[in-house]
Amino acid sequence: MHYQGTVYRPPSEANSILLQVTTGCSHNKCTFCGMYKGQRFTVTPEEIVFADIDYAAHHFPHARRLFLCDGDALILPHPRLLAILERIRSRLPRIVRVGIYANSKSLQSKTVDELTELRRLGLGIAYLGLESGDDPTLASINKGATSIQMIEMGRKAKLAGIQLSVTVLLGIAGPERSEIHALETGRVLSAIDPDYVGALSLMIEPGTAIHSEVEAGRFALPEPLAILQELRTMIAATTLSNGLFHANHASNYLPVRAKLPEEKSPTLALIDQALAGNLTLRPEFLRAL
């Protein structure tokens, strides 16, 4: 397989074939994100992608899942994505789900009919970084989309029948906007109604714009208990028809996994126990991105 730079994938794609169809991220401006810093966005030549699919078909013929890397591979032109998915279907017929990172811009570039066509060819899940539903926070982190656009794009993916996993970032609004960030994010998540929500707690990476903000004293992270309170407020404000709200990533202080709506009350009670000091939080040295 041909790989350039560091290849990222969602935790739930740990057992997937990783097929790098682009390198970097076409947006690459989010202030907290260091994943593709210094890396130019490029489209992998089709002959290399096809050679990798053939290699995977030879070496991993029984694989059930495949993930299209990098940052926002959905930005590829529709005909190119169609050709890739058709090749996967013909060479790797046992693949039951293809996953992809998406953002507001890449979802905007596709019609519902195009997304539906991609879904019919195997595109089963899109991972969308919302980070916050609070418009001033979205603007301050250069997310490149408003909450209304996020809602429209998330709904568009769902309308096409593609499962949606949405990532949110605890701590990203700082201490002052923590509560409004939690409430607004709950509002947007409820409006999108994704299949999965993944909450991560912000960790400041050197080399990012937000790191410079911290160094200059213009941004500070909320304290661990404030981040936990933010998570509680967010879950309380989130209504999903049938979704999983995960906050069990290694960056979080308390692992939480709630099926919504039915497990909301016991989950809030668990967080209350932690806020009251009755549960041990993950120590800083064990946190990781």
Residues that bind ligand SF4 in the complex, under the rule CB under 6 A: 25, 27-30, 33, 35-36, 71-72, 103, 129
Q: How far is the CB of 142 from ligand SF4 (least distance, A)?
A: 8
Distance in angstroms (rounded) separating the CA atoms of residues 101 and 70: 7
Kindly report whether the peptide bond that precedes residue 255 is cis, defined as omega within 30 degrees of 0: no
Integer Cα distance of 261 and 257 in angstroms: 12
State the nearest-atom distance from the C-beta of 72 to ligand SF4, in Å: 6
Nearer to ligand SF4, 138 or 254 (CB): 138
Q: Which amino acid is at 56?
A: A
Taking the complex as a whole, how short is the minimal distance between the CB of residue 189 and ligand SF4, in angstroms?
17
Distance in Å, CB of 87 to ligand SF4, minimum:
25
In the complex, least distance from residue 80 CB atom to ligand SF4, rounded to whole angstroms: 19
